[in-house]
Amino acid sequence: MLSKLVKKREGFTLIELLIVVAIIGIIAAIAVPQLLNAIQRAKQKRTMADMRSIGESMEIYQIDWNFYPKDSDTEGIRLLNPDYMRNPPINDAWNNPYEYTPYANDQEYSIISNGRDATPGDQSQGETHLFDDDIIFSNGQFTRWPEGVQR
């Protein structure tokens, strides 16, 4: 008779479910912005690695020809294929085209990624702190690069 009075408890109460949903929401609110930031940092690193590879290929081209490719924008980068770099990347990690510019009678060059926003910006030398800032690789070294905490 006593067993008939005691109900068997099956499932979760509404309060328990609401608590679980709230905890999941808090974890997501913390994790999602960090994940998005990590994705942008990874895109910066990939862009910098690609720019360094293009620059190394430009140096080899210059040794062979005694000048850097004369064509500007992506055409200068395409000239590296296939002898100096197989399938050189013409777009950065944000899928925006690199800007390649030869200057000083084709004895110097710069490769620019306009960053996440794809808009040309400040091209002063030194470190940057925004994902939208330009990254510049010029004559074998970075003259504008991401450093520290990015926003």
Residues 92 and 74: beta-carbon distance below 8 Å: no
The domain that contains 140 carries what CATH number?
3.30.700.10
**Mean pLDDT over residues 137-141, rounded?**
94
Residue 90 included in any domain: yes
pLDDT value at residue 104: 85
Residue 62 included in any domain: yes
pLDDT value at residue 26: 95
Which segments of the chain are extended strands (E)?
A: 99-103, 108-113, 126-128, 135-138, 141-146
Residue 6 included in any domain: no
**Mean pLDDT over residues 138-144, rounded?**
94
Residue 78 included in any domain: yes
Q: Evaluate if residue 32 carries a pLDDT over 80.
A: yes
Tokens encoding 63: 């040794």
Q: What is the mean pLDDT of the chain?
A: 90
Total number of domains in the chain: 1
- Burial per residue of 58-90, b for 16 or more beta-carbon CB atoms within 10 angstroms, e otherwise: beebbeeeeebbeeeebebbebbeeebbeebbb
Residue 10 included in any domain: no
Q: What is the pLDDT of residues 49-98, one digit of tens each?
A: 999 999 999 999 999 999 999 888 788 999 999 999 999 999 999 999 99
Q: Evaluate if residue 48 carries a pLDDT over 70.
A: yes
pTM: 0.81
Residue 118 included in any domain: yes
Enclosing domain of residue 53: 25-146
pLDDT value at residue 21: 96
Residue 102 included in any domain: yes
pLDDT value at residue 1: 53
Distance CA 134, CA 125 (A): 10
Q: What is the pLDDT of residues 88-123, one digit of tens each?
A: 999 999 999 999 999 888 899 999 999 999 999 888
Residue 45 included in any domain: yes
**Which residues, including other chains, have CB under 8 Å from residue 114's CB and lie 6 or more apart?**
92, 96, 99, 120, 121, 134
For residue 34, CA distances in Å to 39, 68, 126 come to 9, 41, 26
